[in-house]
Amino acid sequence: MKALDRLDINNGWLDGEALVLDDRGLTSFCKTSGGKGLHVIVLLAKQASWDEMKDFSKAVAQHMASTLPKLFSAKMGMQNCKDKIFIDYLRNNRGSSTVAAFSLRVRPGLGASMPIAWGELEDTKSGNQWTIDNVRERMDALRDDPWKGYAKLRQRLTAEMKKRLGMTGSRKTNKAESE
Protein backbone atom coordinates (compact mmCIF):
# COMPACT_ATOMS: atom_id res chain seq x y z
CA MET A 1 0.00 0.00 0.00
CA LYS A 2 2.88 2.34 0.71
CA ALA A 3 3.69 3.47 -2.84
CA LEU A 4 0.17 3.99 -4.13
CA ASP A 5 -2.23 6.82 -3.71
CA ARG A 6 -4.84 5.59 -1.19
CA LEU A 7 -7.78 6.55 -3.39
CA ASP A 8 -6.37 4.52 -6.30
CA ILE A 9 -5.80 1.52 -4.08
CA ASN A 10 -9.24 1.60 -2.57
CA ASN A 11 -10.97 2.16 -5.88
CA GLY A 12 -8.80 -0.52 -7.43
CA TRP A 13 -9.67 -3.09 -4.82
CA LEU A 14 -13.34 -2.25 -4.92
CA ASP A 15 -13.44 -2.16 -8.71
CA GLY A 16 -11.37 -5.32 -9.00
CA GLU A 17 -13.45 -7.23 -6.51
CA ALA A 18 -16.68 -6.19 -8.20
CA LEU A 19 -15.28 -6.58 -11.70
CA VAL A 20 -14.11 -10.14 -11.34
CA LEU A 21 -15.75 -11.86 -8.40
CA ASP A 22 -19.20 -10.34 -8.01
CA ASP A 23 -19.55 -10.23 -11.78
CA ARG A 24 -19.01 -13.96 -11.85
CA GLY A 25 -21.48 -14.69 -9.09
CA LEU A 26 -18.91 -15.26 -6.35
CA THR A 27 -19.21 -13.68 -2.94
CA SER A 28 -15.85 -12.68 -1.52
CA PHE A 29 -14.58 -11.54 1.85
CA CYS A 30 -11.62 -9.36 2.77
CA LYS A 31 -9.21 -9.33 5.68
CA THR A 32 -6.05 -7.53 6.61
CA SER A 33 -2.98 -9.72 6.51
CA GLY A 34 -1.50 -8.41 9.73
CA GLY A 35 1.50 -7.56 7.53
CA LYS A 36 1.68 -5.47 4.37
CA GLY A 37 -1.51 -6.22 2.52
CA LEU A 38 -5.02 -7.53 2.25
CA HIS A 39 -6.33 -11.00 1.55
CA VAL A 40 -9.42 -11.73 -0.53
CA ILE A 41 -11.17 -14.95 0.44
CA VAL A 42 -13.56 -16.80 -1.85
CA LEU A 43 -15.14 -19.85 -0.25
CA LEU A 44 -15.71 -22.63 -2.74
CA ALA A 45 -17.33 -26.01 -2.28
CA LYS A 46 -14.99 -28.93 -2.67
CA GLN A 47 -15.98 -29.96 -6.18
CA ALA A 48 -13.01 -28.88 -8.28
CA SER A 49 -9.49 -30.27 -8.09
CA TRP A 50 -6.65 -28.42 -6.43
CA ASP A 51 -5.19 -27.64 -9.86
CA GLU A 52 -8.51 -26.32 -11.19
CA MET A 53 -8.82 -23.99 -8.20
CA LYS A 54 -5.26 -22.74 -8.72
CA ASP A 55 -5.91 -22.25 -12.44
CA PHE A 56 -9.08 -20.30 -11.65
CA SER A 57 -7.31 -18.01 -9.16
CA LYS A 58 -4.53 -17.45 -11.69
CA ALA A 59 -7.09 -16.59 -14.39
CA VAL A 60 -8.80 -14.11 -12.02
CA ALA A 61 -5.45 -12.45 -11.22
CA GLN A 62 -4.47 -12.26 -14.89
CA HIS A 63 -7.89 -10.89 -15.83
CA MET A 64 -7.61 -8.16 -13.18
CA ALA A 65 -4.08 -7.30 -14.34
CA SER A 66 -5.05 -7.14 -18.01
CA THR A 67 -8.29 -5.23 -17.39
CA LEU A 68 -6.79 -2.65 -15.01
CA PRO A 69 -3.04 -2.80 -15.75
CA LYS A 70 -2.27 0.49 -14.05
CA LEU A 71 -3.61 -0.86 -10.75
CA PHE A 72 -2.91 -4.60 -10.73
CA SER A 73 -0.11 -7.03 -11.48
CA ALA A 74 -0.25 -10.82 -11.53
CA LYS A 75 3.54 -11.14 -11.84
CA MET A 76 5.72 -11.48 -8.76
CA GLY A 77 8.74 -9.25 -8.32
CA MET A 78 9.27 -5.64 -7.39
CA GLN A 79 9.87 -4.65 -11.03
CA ASN A 80 6.38 -5.93 -11.94
CA CYS A 81 4.59 -4.43 -8.95
CA LYS A 82 5.93 -0.88 -8.85
CA ASP A 83 2.96 1.34 -7.98
CA LYS A 84 0.57 -1.61 -8.44
CA ILE A 85 -1.30 -4.08 -6.31
CA PHE A 86 0.13 -7.58 -6.66
CA ILE A 87 -2.58 -10.24 -6.92
CA ASP A 88 -0.80 -13.21 -5.34
CA TYR A 89 -2.61 -16.20 -6.78
CA LEU A 90 0.42 -18.33 -5.86
CA ARG A 91 -0.99 -18.52 -2.32
CA ASN A 92 -3.19 -21.23 -3.83
CA ASN A 93 -0.27 -23.63 -4.34
CA ARG A 94 -0.35 -26.87 -2.41
CA GLY A 95 1.70 -26.35 0.75
CA SER A 96 1.35 -22.56 0.69
CA SER A 97 -0.26 -20.93 3.68
CA THR A 98 -1.80 -17.71 4.78
CA VAL A 99 -2.43 -16.31 8.22
CA ALA A 100 -5.82 -17.16 9.71
CA ALA A 101 -8.25 -14.38 10.54
CA PHE A 102 -7.85 -13.08 14.10
CA SER A 103 -4.24 -14.32 14.25
CA LEU A 104 -1.26 -12.28 15.36
CA ARG A 105 1.80 -12.12 13.12
CA VAL A 106 5.14 -12.93 14.72
CA ARG A 107 6.91 -9.76 13.65
CA PRO A 108 7.58 -6.36 15.17
CA GLY A 109 4.32 -4.78 16.33
CA LEU A 110 2.43 -8.09 16.37
CA GLY A 111 0.01 -7.15 13.56
CA ALA A 112 -3.36 -8.88 13.61
CA SER A 113 -5.13 -10.36 10.61
CA MET A 114 -8.65 -8.98 10.89
CA PRO A 115 -11.80 -9.54 8.83
CA ILE A 116 -13.13 -6.35 7.28
CA ALA A 117 -16.25 -5.60 5.30
CA TRP A 118 -15.71 -4.32 1.75
CA GLY A 119 -17.33 -1.05 2.85
CA GLU A 120 -14.57 -0.57 5.46
CA LEU A 121 -11.80 -0.65 2.90
CA GLU A 122 -11.68 3.10 2.42
CA ASP A 123 -10.90 3.57 6.12
CA THR A 124 -8.34 0.75 6.27
CA LYS A 125 -4.89 2.28 6.30
CA SER A 126 -2.66 -0.81 6.10
CA GLY A 127 -2.52 -4.57 6.45
CA ASN A 128 -1.18 -4.19 9.98
CA GLN A 129 -3.57 -1.47 11.11
CA TRP A 130 -4.65 -3.66 14.01
CA THR A 131 -2.10 -5.04 16.43
CA ILE A 132 -2.02 -6.75 19.78
CA ASP A 133 -2.36 -3.26 21.28
CA ASN A 134 -5.58 -2.19 19.52
CA VAL A 135 -7.32 -5.34 18.28
CA ARG A 136 -9.71 -5.31 21.26
CA GLU A 137 -10.82 -1.79 20.31
CA ARG A 138 -11.56 -3.05 16.80
CA MET A 139 -13.63 -5.94 18.10
CA ASP A 140 -15.54 -3.75 20.56
CA ALA A 141 -16.28 -1.14 17.87
CA LEU A 142 -17.82 -3.61 15.41
CA ARG A 143 -21.56 -3.18 15.05
CA ASP A 144 -22.00 -5.94 12.47
CA ASP A 145 -20.09 -9.05 11.51
CA PRO A 146 -17.86 -8.01 8.58
CA TRP A 147 -18.08 -11.58 7.28
CA LYS A 148 -21.82 -12.04 7.74
CA GLY A 149 -22.95 -15.13 5.85
CA TYR A 150 -19.43 -16.59 5.67
CA ALA A 151 -20.19 -19.77 7.62
CA LYS A 152 -23.28 -20.67 5.59
CA LEU A 153 -21.99 -19.73 2.15
CA ARG A 154 -21.90 -22.50 -0.46
CA GLN A 155 -20.68 -21.62 -3.95
CA ARG A 156 -19.06 -23.50 -6.79
CA LEU A 157 -16.98 -22.78 -9.84
CA THR A 158 -19.09 -23.17 -12.94
CA ALA A 159 -18.25 -23.81 -16.56
CA GLU A 160 -19.62 -20.35 -17.39
CA MET A 161 -17.29 -18.68 -14.84
CA LYS A 162 -14.30 -20.47 -16.33
CA LYS A 163 -15.37 -19.65 -19.88
CA ARG A 164 -15.71 -15.93 -19.08
CA LEU A 165 -12.12 -15.95 -17.82
CA GLY A 166 -10.87 -17.64 -20.97
CA MET A 167 -10.21 -20.98 -19.31
CA THR A 168 -10.60 -23.90 -21.67
CA GLY A 169 -10.88 -27.51 -20.60
CA SER A 170 -9.81 -28.66 -17.18
CA ARG A 171 -6.77 -30.38 -15.85
CA LYS A 172 -7.00 -34.02 -15.01
CA THR A 173 -5.68 -34.87 -11.57
CA ASN A 174 -5.80 -37.97 -9.49
CA LYS A 175 -8.01 -38.02 -6.43
CA ALA A 176 -5.10 -37.77 -3.99
CA GLU A 177 -3.87 -34.57 -5.67
CA SER A 178 -7.27 -32.92 -5.55
CA GLU A 179 -7.93 -33.40 -1.84
CATH number at residue 134: 3.90.920.10
Which residues are CB-contacts of 179 (< 8 A; sequence separation ≥ 6)? 50
Say whether pLDDT at 129 is over 50. Answer: yes
Residue 1, in any domain of the structure:
no
Categorize the per-residue pLDDT at 171 as very low, low, confident or very high, splitting at 50, 70 and 90.
Answer: low
Q: Most confidently modeled of 16-20, 73-77, 85-89, 114-118?
A: 114-118
- Which pLDDT score is estimated for 178? 37
- Long-range contacts (CB closer than 8 Å, 24 or more residues apart) made by 87-91: 87/16, 87/60, 87/61, 88/61, 89/54, 89/57, 89/58, 89/60, 89/61, 91/39
Please give the residue range of the domain that contains residue 54.
Answer: 6-178
Higher pLDDT residue, 134 or 76?
134
Residue 98, in any domain of the structure:
yes
Say whether pLDDT at 141 is over 90. Answer: yes
Look at the chain and report how many structural domains it folds into: 1
Residue 144, in any domain of the structure:
yes
Categorize the per-residue pLDDT at 25 as very low, low, confident or very high, splitting at 50, 70 and 90.
Answer: confident
Q: Is the pTM of this model over 0.75?
A: yes
Categorize the per-residue pLDDT at 142 as very low, low, confident or very high, splitting at 50, 70 and 90.
Answer: very high
Residue 81, in any domain of the structure:
yes
Residue 28, in any domain of the structure:
yes
Least confident segment among 42-46, 82-86, 89-93, 174-178: 174-178
